[in-house]
């Protein structure tokens, strides 16, 4: 569908380079990496060389200076080849986006520029905790001031790139002493915590249902001293930073789901043309045709909502909470329907590793959970609609 869309020259250029890279470099080993739970270190540095770790970051800060639409196009192509590589790229862009908008010049020189140049490896966005995910403002990690440093204590859960990150963009609550602390966003502050900081343990890697070549880990912090100059933005303003990052992050996950849907539909159509039952190809059976028609309609609706959210951003909207949430909600739920229908077309062969639909089916599931579950997206949309 996107091929028929009016795209600017730069958007088409980024889309085509991402598609070429996805086809030539990301796709060939995707199934093998998944089976081996192998993190794509080489691809992360190649993504950096292509400018795909900071697509929207301005050129002066080392980014590509492109727009949100270009980012959507790029991530959908990477995801079509490998959703694990896409989530690694999505989190990198989320971190880069936040640093480019909220970090000081010194901080950008120290972390953002080398990160985007591919000299640092991956980075993480550490908001969720063992007892707070959807209700992220209830986080319990504490930061207590001690001289020219902050002392951080607590744990983070489900952190993408957690084990391999060269630095973490980490959210903790500034307090005077030990908890328990009241829920709410008061005091939440954004810190950069570097790999190897004393007291930082990048825990055990999770064994996941899907996205097996992405890395997801717990972080445990025990009396980790973080220099005061590592605070990103103002002390106490971290929650607003996280939410503003998630506005764009959610469009990225919607685009990740677009890529999975594109791949699943292509697999389903191919199989339906090959496989015969009752004397004719599945593609000639009307039930199969309906599944394909409904899936294509789901996919195109998802494209429209996602491109619309991206366009709002490109027009300069500071916050796009409702549009981002609608894109993520619809696109990820549609993705669930599409992979399910396409697996069904494969029959028993859809349930084994020999066909790509099995991996696509597993990878799709988490898109309805991370960067805010579908329920959380509905809460955001309703809140915006009912306000005022």
Ligand X SMILES: Cc1cc2nc3c(=O)[nH]c(=O)nc-3n(C[C@H](O)[C@H](O)[C@H](O)COP(=O)(O)OP(=O)(O)OC[C@H]3O[C@@H](n4cnc5c(N)ncnc54)[C@H](O)[C@@H]3O)c2cc1C
CA distance 251 to 130: 25
Phi, psi of 314, deg, nearest 5: -70, -25
Query: In the bound complex, which residue of the shown chain has the CB atom lying closest to ligand X?
Result: 133
Of residues 202-241, those binding ligand X (CB under 6 A): 208, 211, 216
Range in contact with ligand X (rule: CB under 6 A) among 177-185, 225-233, 288-296, 363-371: 363-371
Nearer to ligand X, 137 or 144 (CB): 137
Residue in 134, 204, 222, 289 binding ligand X, rule: CB under 6 A: 134
Pairing mode of beta strands 216-227, 231-232: unpaired
Least CB distance to ligand X at residue 23 (A): 25
Peptide bond into 271 cis (omega under 30): no
Give the residue among 64, 17, 73, 28 at the shortest CA–CA distance from 306: 73
95 Cβ partners below 8 Å, 6+ apart? 115, 123, 124, 125, 169
Report DSSP state, residue 129.
B
Pairing mode of beta strands 167-174, 142-146: parallel
Q: Choosing from 206, 333, 371, 384, which is the catalytic residue?
A: 371
Q: Does 375 bind ligand X (CB under 6 A)?
A: yes
Of residues 71-130, those binding ligand X (CB under 6 A): 91, 124-128
Cα-based angle 99, 102, 106 (whole degrees, multiple of 5): 70
Residue in 160, 325, 367, 377 binding ligand X, rule: CB under 6 A: 160
Number of residues that bind ligand X (CB under 6 A): 22
Q: Does 380 bind ligand X (CB under 6 A)?
A: no
Nearer to ligand X, 154 or 372 (CB): 372
Chain centre to alpha carbon of residue 146 = 34
Nearer to ligand X, 71 or 125 (CB): 125
Range in contact with ligand X (rule: CB under 6 A) among 99-107, 230-238, 299-307, 365-373: 365-373
Q: Which secondary structure element, helix H or strand E, spans residue 323, and what is its range?
A: helix 321-346
Least CB distance to ligand X at residue 1 (A): 28
> Is position 60 annotated as part of the catalytic site?
no
Range in contact with ligand X (rule: CB under 6 A) among 27-35, 285-293, 344-352, 372-380: 372-380
CB 181 within 8 Å of CB 175: yes
Least CB distance to ligand X at residue 309 (A): 19
Residue in 21, 71, 239, 370 binding ligand X, rule: CB under 6 A: 370
- What burial class does residue 213 get, using C-beta atoms within 10 Å of its C-beta: 0-12 exposed, 13-18 middle, 19+ buried? buried
Q: Does 185 bind ligand X (CB under 6 A)?
A: no
Residue in 57, 159, 232, 309 binding ligand X, rule: CB under 6 A: 159
Least CB distance to ligand X at residue 191 (A): 14
Residue in 238, 252, 259, 372 binding ligand X, rule: CB under 6 A: 372
Tokens for 362, please give them: 């597993």
117 Cβ partners below 8 Å, 6+ apart? 48, 62
Residues annotated catalytic, as ranges: 371
Task: Give contact residues for ligand X (rule: CB under 6 A).
Answer: 91, 124-128, 133-134, 158-160, 208, 211, 216, 366, 369-373, 375-376
């Amino acid at each position: 569908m996107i091929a028929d869309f009016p795209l600017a020259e730069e958007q088409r250029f980024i889309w085509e380079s991402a598609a070429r890279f996805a086809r030539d470099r990301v796709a060939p080993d995707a199934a093998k990496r998944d089976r081996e739970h192998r993190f794509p270190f080489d691809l992360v540095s190649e993504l950096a060389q292509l400018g795909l770790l900071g697509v929207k970051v301005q050129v002066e800060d080392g980014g590509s200076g492109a727009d949100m639409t270009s980012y959507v196009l790029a991530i959908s192509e990477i995801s079509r080849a490998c959703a694990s590589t896409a989530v690694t790229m999505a989190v990198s862009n989320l971190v880069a986006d936040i640093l480019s908008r909220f970090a000081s010049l010194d901080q950008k020189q120290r972390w953002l520029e080398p990160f985007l140049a591919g000299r640092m490896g991956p980075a993480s966005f550490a908001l969720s905790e063992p007892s707070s995910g959807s209700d992220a403002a209830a986080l319990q990690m504490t930061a207590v001031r001690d001289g020219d440093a902050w002392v951080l204590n607590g744990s983070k859960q489900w952190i993408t790139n957690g084990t391999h990150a060269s630095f973490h963009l980490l959210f903790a609550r500034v307090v005077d002493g030990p908890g328990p602390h009241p829920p709410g966003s008061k005091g939440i502050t954004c810190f950069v915590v570097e790999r190897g900081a004393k007291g930082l343990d990048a825990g055990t890697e999770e064994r996941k249902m899907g996205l097996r070549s992405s890395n997801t880990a717990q972080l445990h912090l025990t009396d980790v001293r973080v220099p005061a100059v590592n605070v990103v933005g103002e002390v106490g303003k971290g929650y607003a930073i996280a939410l503003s990052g998630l506005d764009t992050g959610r469009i990225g996950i919607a685009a990740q789901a677009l890529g999975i849907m594109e791949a699943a539909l292509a697999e389903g159509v191919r199989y339906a043309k090959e496989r015969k039952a009752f004397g004719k190809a599945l593609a000639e059976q009307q039930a199969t045709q309906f599944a394909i028609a409904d899936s294509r309609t789901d996919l195109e609706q998802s494209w429209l909502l996602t491109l619309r959210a991206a366009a709002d951003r490109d027009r300069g909207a500071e916050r796009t909470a409702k549009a981002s949430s609608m894109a993520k909600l619809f696109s990820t739920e549609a993705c669930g329907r599409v992979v399910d229908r396409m697996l069904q077309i494969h029959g028993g062969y859809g349930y084994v590793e020999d066909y790509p639909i099995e991996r696509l089916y597993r990878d799709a599931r988490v898109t309805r959970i991370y960067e805010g579950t579908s329920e959380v997206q509905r809460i955001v949309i309703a809140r915006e609609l009912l306000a005022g």
